[in-house]
Chain A
């Protein structure tokens, strides 16, 4: 079997969100911790795309930061079976992630200069031109500043910069959610082409299931800091196991059947500071029973090959 390029094991990240200590002292408030990532494990095989999908606050961006080392884990392990310099990240906001005072050429060349200090100016310039062409821009754009580009073009610059370090592994945190759909299509196509041509591995983070379906080989659905279900893309869409996944799938508007009337799922994601007992999804779950309130379901080997963390799914229940 191929060895995974990234192995994440029982990963946890807690944030201290307590009031300042004087307030705690005077108002007798306890310390409060937010478990942003709470026991997450997954592997990614080389050349594949694993997508983390979920609603705001489910911890998907925190995982991106843990994997790239921008946050340190509170517990658990992240093993990257490759050269750590071969990992790069593409951020969501193409306006905040490019230095407005630098010319595009300098932005794209920065990883080159850092990772390959022997690069001469002429080599760097040639490489930057090549990279800009790869992402569909012109070498002449190197002399311009970021503000001269549209959102989609800026995201291409971010991709060119990420590619400059000759990465094997790219962490993409909502790379297209700030873009219009027609531009999103251009960027997604570009990312898929680069993956084919360069054999890149992606950790792809998105809230948009239709984008994820298009991009990912494997999808992990997150809810309140945990992976509730992980399956190959086709299986997840054909046979979603967790009630939350089914709810998410049901909330995507279907363009092929307009004006559909549905009863939307009630409730909201609870606060991660004080999550519900047992399975954190139970207050919103149509299938929940007593055990769900008491006990936390885990993705154990005996249940659906570790694909889902749900007592109801383990018993084969799928409908209300």
Chain B
């Protein structure tokens, strides 16, 4: 049997990056379109119209949806028998370099001390890669390009356990109110409760991968997601701060078991242009997208993935 190698992986990751940058996930598109159709406030409707126009132009011309093509986050579920292991990050870096050269990504990796842009979206700890090693021989990949403007409001609250859920709810409302139009609403909010600050932020970020409308399997958590989503949409911040019914597209909550004395709350915001994709790669190098996107070919729109 043919075995997947680093070069093949680079090609697959390159295709994934292209898809992530130029076509919006179907769940995000459909939520925006639904909001556009029912929005009555003219300024908010105008913003949603511009957003939908932008999405269509990007997919028709195969260009990035937003000029801030984000920071690359990669989440891997690596089967222990998958042929390539240590070389995976090299392959991702190769794909990022090529995608930058081809204009699918803007160079966004800056050395904070030397103030130098690496020019190719790779650098120290960039891409940020999270691994889970699992049984099996396949590689599952989730790719997210996370915009910088919508990263600014991200908040960590180190609460005591007794105040935990109160501070979580207040924290979500306060974060969205404080930053207003800056993170490009309508937003997706990722939240996590965890033992430590690092775990909370990481799980909150990862929760953004869950498609819009897909609730947490735990009933109690699902109820809180809906409660917070409804509360945020009563703010009337609306698309880019111009009012109307849609401030948040969704709220996602995740958790780790916590220490008896800690209640870390991570809150991460993502813009309307939430860009993510996922794929499954088999040991022979065959692969497919497992996320759905809108995709335009010769002017006609259809769904891939």
A binds B: no
